[in-house]
Amino acid sequence: MADYKLSSGGVRRASDGAFIPDDPRNRDWVAYQEWLTAGNLPDPEFTAEELAAQAARAVENAAVTTLDTEARADAIFTTLKPATGAQIATFVSSQFPLFTAQQRAIVRMLLHIAALTLRRGGV
Amino acid sequence: MPSVVLAHLSKTMKTSFAIAKASLVASGLTAARTFTLQDGDGAIALLHQVPSNNTIINGNMRIAQRGTSFAAVASGSYTLDRWQYAKVGTMVHTISQSTDVPTLAQAGQLFTNSIQLALTTADTSIAADDALHFSQKIEGFNWAPLAQRGVIVSFWVKSGLTGIYCLSLRNGGADRSCVQEFSISAANTWEYKTVTFPASPSAGTWDYGTGIGVYLTFSLASGSNYHTTAGTWQTGNLAATAAAINGVNTGAGNFLFTGMQLEAGAIASPFAARSFGAELALCQRYYQVIQCGDRMQAAGANHFAQTPAPFMARMRAAPTAAITAGTRNNLGAGFPSIDSITDVGARFTIQSNAAGDAYALNDTVALTAEL
Average pLDDT over residues B210-217: 98
Q: What residue ranges define each of the domains in chain B, with the CATH number in brackets?
A: 11-49 (no CATH), 69-282 (2.60.120.430), 285-368 (2.60.40.2080)
Where along chain A do its domains lie? 4-37, 62-119
Go through A35-63 and write b for each residue having 16 or more CB atoms within 10 A of its CB, e for each that does not.
beeeeeebbeeeeeeeeeeeeebeeebee
- Quote the minimal CA–CA distance from A14 to chain B in Å: 11
Look over chain B and give the mean of its residue pLDDT values, rounded to a whole number.
91
**Do the chains contact at A21 and B320, CB–CB below 8 Å?**
yes
Which of the four pLDDT bands, split at 50, 70 and 90, describes residue B43? very low
Task: Sort out which chain A residues have CB atoms less than 8 A from B342's CB and list them.
Answer: 21
Task: Sort out which chain A residues have CB atoms less than 8 A from B369's CB and list them.
Answer: 25-26
Question: Is it the case that residue B222 has pLDDT exceeding 80?
Answer: yes
Query: In this complex, is the C-beta atom of B325 within 8 Å of any C-beta atom belonging to chain A?
Result: no
Average pLDDT over residues A17-24: 96
3-state DSSP assignment of residue B368: strand
Nearest CA in chain A to B287: A26
State the helix-helix crossing angle for A101-119 and A85-95, rounded to 10 degrees: 130
Q: What are phi and psi of B311, to 5 degrees?
A: -85, 155
Q: Which residues neighbour A109 within 8 Å (Cβ) at sequence distance 6 or greater?
A: none
What is the number of alpha carbons within 13 Å of residue B319 lying toward its C-beta?
Answer: 30
Per the CB < 8 A criterion, the answer to whether B153 and B214 are in contact is no
3-state DSSP assignment of residue B106: helix
- Quote the minimal CA–CA distance from B212 to chain A in Å: 10
Which of the four pLDDT bands, split at 50, 70 and 90, describes residue A123? low
Separation between Cα atoms, residue A114 and residue A112, nearest integer Å: 5
Average pLDDT over residues A10-15: 96
Position A46 scores a pLDDT of 87
Position B1 scores a pLDDT of 33
Position B4 scores a pLDDT of 46
**Cα dist. B294→A95, B279, B289, B309, B331 in Å?**
32, 31, 17, 11, 11
Which of the four pLDDT bands, split at 50, 70 and 90, describes residue B17? low
* Beta strands in chain B, from DSSP E residues, in sequence order: 69-70, 84-88, 92-98, 114-121, 131-139, 151-159, 163-171, 176-184, 191-197, 212-222, 233-235, 254-264, 287-298, 304-310, 320-324, 327-329, 337-339, 345-351, 356-368
Position A96 scores a pLDDT of 80
Of B319, B323, B338, nearest to A26 by CB-CB distance is B319
**Do the chains contact at A28 and B355, CB–CB below 8 Å?**
no
**Do the chains contact at A61 and B339, CB–CB below 8 Å?**
no
The count of other CB atoms within 10 Å of the CB of residue A75 is 10
Which of B343, B342, B335, B344 is closest to B306 using CA atoms?
A: B335
In order, the DSSP letters of A55-119 are: HHHHHHHHHHHHHHHHHHHHHHHHHHTT--HHHHHHHHHHH-TTS-HHHHHHHHHHHHHHHHHHH
Position B11 scores a pLDDT of 56
Question: Is it the case that residue B44 has pLDDT exceeding 60?
Answer: no
> Which comes out higher in pLDDT, residue A90 or B214?
B214
Task: Sort out which chain A residues have CB atoms less than 8 A from B210's CB and list them.
Answer: 25
In order, the DSSP letters of A5-44 are: EEETTEEEETTT--EEES-TT-HHHHHHHHHHHTT--PBP
Separation between Cα atoms, residue B189 and residue B186, nearest integer Å: 6
Average pLDDT over residues B145-153: 98
Average pLDDT over residues B337-345: 96
Of B299, B320, B355, nearest to A26 by CB-CB distance is B320
Flag the least confident range among A99-113, B168-182, B221-235, B293-307: A99-113
Question: Is it the case that residue B215 has pLDDT exceeding 60?
Answer: yes
Separation between Cα atoms, residue B115 and residue B280, nearest integer Å: 16
**Do the chains contact at A57 and B371, CB–CB below 8 Å?**
no
Separation between Cα atoms, residue B202 and residue B197, nearest integer Å: 15
Position B371 scores a pLDDT of 97
pLDDT tens readout for residues B241-273: 999 999 999 999 999 999 999 999 999 999 999
Which of the four pLDDT bands, split at 50, 70 and 90, describes residue A18? very high
Question: Is it the case that residue B37 has pLDDT exceeding 70?
Answer: no
Of B317, B341, B342, nearest to A19 by CB-CB distance is B341
The count of other CB atoms within 10 Å of the CB of residue B274 is 16
Average pLDDT over residues B286-296: 97
Which of B186, B368, B179 is closest to B284 using CA atoms?
A: B368
pLDDT tens readout for residues B273-284: 999 999 999 999
Position B9 scores a pLDDT of 52
Average pLDDT over residues B359-369: 98
Which of B217, B220, B221, B159 is closest to B185 using CA atoms?
A: B159
Position A122 scores a pLDDT of 62
